Chains A and B, each alone.
Chain A
């Protein structure tokens, strides 16, 4: 019986109290595969172990019925569900700008897709430093967004790009996706016992292994973290959109979730926990890109463009045909069970047997609180007083104020023919909803300086700015004949 060493669980990003908690909940030491699964599922990026309590305090009521709790949130507008979500991909983009940003786009699209919604728009909020290396990262990130967004056929319609020395060595890449679905056709991630579990999409390789626990959840050190950055394939992403929507339309997809951070671990555990049931799966059926791969590698892999679905028993062939038509893999991995246990086997042995509930409820870590770091105050006290002409020149030379068409002209912002107000034409993008008199205005805003100095005020101001922009647009658009009514939705990411 393999003994897990402290070096092993520490190198996976777990803390001592967490390791003790695992043993306490299981009543035994975890197997290597189980340990790997805990390390990724309990990471900050997946479990939000440090920020969950703060996020839970945000308001959930509004003018429109709200959809909360699945992989993306949204609102209901008459018979339409409008879904949106923002996700950050900061560390991967710092390490490998093009691929980090590209997979950020791919991942957020899949979160929307997993709800059965067609992704209709992307926005991004980017923060870069001002040193020469930041310029390289800016170019890589913009390249990554255009590389993935353009090919996958979802228009990038808005966002913001800001520069500040505080971001030297630590860029921020936040991507938002908006999706549309008929209200009564939304998909769920809640597994149902007695049906088949199917693996859908691209093959599994070693990319991104430990990405969320190694990269997303911790500070960047000097070591080369490149193997942890996932590689995206927007062509596969596009085929996945079409195949998934086609499959959901058959009515035989009972539950579906996309494999992003923590790949198979996340999907199998979260779908089971949602449905209060379990799964009995064999890793032998997982289509692999590299051979051989250990069970823990298969469970931790963050290979892109994959979904896990619970398919109605007897309809596996039908679903397979749809995915094969689009050039994607489709394999039955096992079944969903009444017994709420995740039983994973590989080459004839059981390599993991754990409770989905345990796996998906990480112990909370408290966020340290305290006053802002004192070094900020001297900066404010010693304000510079340039002459008006000096100030003007500095402003004109600021990358924060310059035209950004160099960036947004690299993004296809018109595909899907819904873009009424384009980047550069206003402070928010406007998308019409075909076949209705409705339109959506979307903006993505934040003010780093204010939020750093006073996080609470900064958050409030970010929401207010976004609301003001969209209200202003609403007033201006009412003058246009072809749009009768413009409702406003907000999705804001305070830094």
Chain B
């Protein structure tokens, strides 16, 4: 199983994701430079957080034009898992791979702190190890995490059950005081209609070791690894049957 982590000029959290996947979880990880056009047999790809291109123009606006994004679009079309964290989420939105926009936080400040999110869907490659309604404690660190979309598009997102994480209180209540940035519908994470592309503002790689304050983030990585194992097993069963 090979996990790819994309690196743009300005990405900051790529090495953090690599550390967790490679050293903490013992996975085979490759760093993909943003100019890569060939995803080289990746099974899943992560777009990490940071400030790609310094957030010039708009967050993710320049990165979305990198050569690797075309390959990622095809990769995701084929149903492979693609995860965008923070700036990665912003890049997925700019690239049109996920719906909506992320504006400046309502408080007009960068915010770095732990938040709680409620898991709304457990049938994605990233949340299958979670329980529905489970509350996770994951840190955020962003200045532009305020999700917005046109009302009719939002209605479609809700109808298709695309919201994966919502900001909530420690006991799971989705209420205004739990919303750190003013996101519409308290959206902290959202997927495409196919359920294989997830964008999330909180940083699971920052809470994957107890020593750093918590390890709820491990649920997301373990979900992905499990999902990929299941896919691989199903594929090899299929091949066995055919031969």
Contacts and interface: CB of A to CB of B under 8 A. Distances in A.
Interface of A: 146, 150-151, 153, 233-236, 238-239, 326-327, 408-417, 419-420, 422, 432, 434-435, 480, 482-483
A414 B141 contact: yes
Interface residues of B, number: 31
B206 A150 contact: no
Contacts of A434: 19, 23
A480 B209 CA distance: 14
Contacts of B67: none
A318 to B, nearest CB: 17
Given A235-B55, A327-B9, A410-B112, 6 more contacts: A150-B110, A153-B12, A239-B10, A415-B13, A417-B209, A434-B23
A487 B134 CA distance: 39
Contacts of B55: 151, 235
Contacts of B16: 415-417
A410 B9 contact: no
Label chain A's interface by main secondary structure: loop
Contacts of A233: 54
B54 A235 contact: yes
Interface string B12-43: 11011001100100000000000000000000
A482 B212 CA distance: 10
A420 B51 contact: no
Contact of B211 (A409, A416, A420): A420
B112 A235 contact: no
B109 A235 contact: no
Contacts of A326: 9
B100 to A, nearest CB: 23
23 contacts: A150-B110, A151-B51, A153-B12, A235-B51, A235-B56, A238-B9, A409-B112, A409-B113, A410-B109, A410-B111, A410-B112, A412-B110, A414-B141, A414-B203, A415-B16, A416-B12, A416-B15, A417-B209, A417-B212, A420-B211, A434-B19, A434-B23, A483-B211
A420 B212 contact: yes
A243 B222 CA distance: 33
Nearest to A414: B206
B212 A410 contact: no
Contacts, number: 81
A417 B205 contact: yes
Interface of B: 9-10, 12-13, 15-16, 19-20, 23, 50-51, 53-56, 109-113, 139, 141, 143, 203, 205-206, 209-213
B168 to A, nearest CB: 19
Contacts of A410: 109-112
Contact of A235 (B10, B113, B203, B205): B10
A412 B9 contact: no
Contacts of B13: 153, 415
A239 to B, nearest CB: 6
A238 B55 CA distance: 12
Given A151-B51, A153-B50, A482-B211, A409 B111 contact: yes
A411 B112 contact: yes
Contacts of A432: 211
B197 to A, nearest CB: 24
Contact of A415 (B9, B54, B141): B141
A413 to B, nearest CB: 6
Given A235-B54, A235-B56, A482-B210, A413 B9 contact: no
Contacts of B206: 414, 417
A445 B110 CA distance: 25
A150 B16 CA distance: 15
Contacts of B205: 417
B211 A238 contact: no
A151 B110 CA distance: 11
Which among A150, A233, A419, A435 has the highest number of chain B CB atoms within 10 Å? A150
A230 B113 CA distance: 31
A408 B141 CA distance: 11
* For the complex of A and B, 3 pairs with smallest distance between CB atoms: A235-B54, A153-B12, A151-B51
Contacts of A235: 9-10, 51, 53-56
Given A409-B112, A410-B112, A413-B112, A239 B9 contact: yes
B17 to A, nearest CB: 9
Contacts of A419: 212
Nearest to A422: B213
Contacts of B112: 408-414
Given A414-B203, A417-B19, A151 B54 contact: yes
A337 to B, nearest CB: 36
Contact of A150 (B15, B51, B211, B212): B51
B51 A238 contact: yes
Nearest to B139: A414
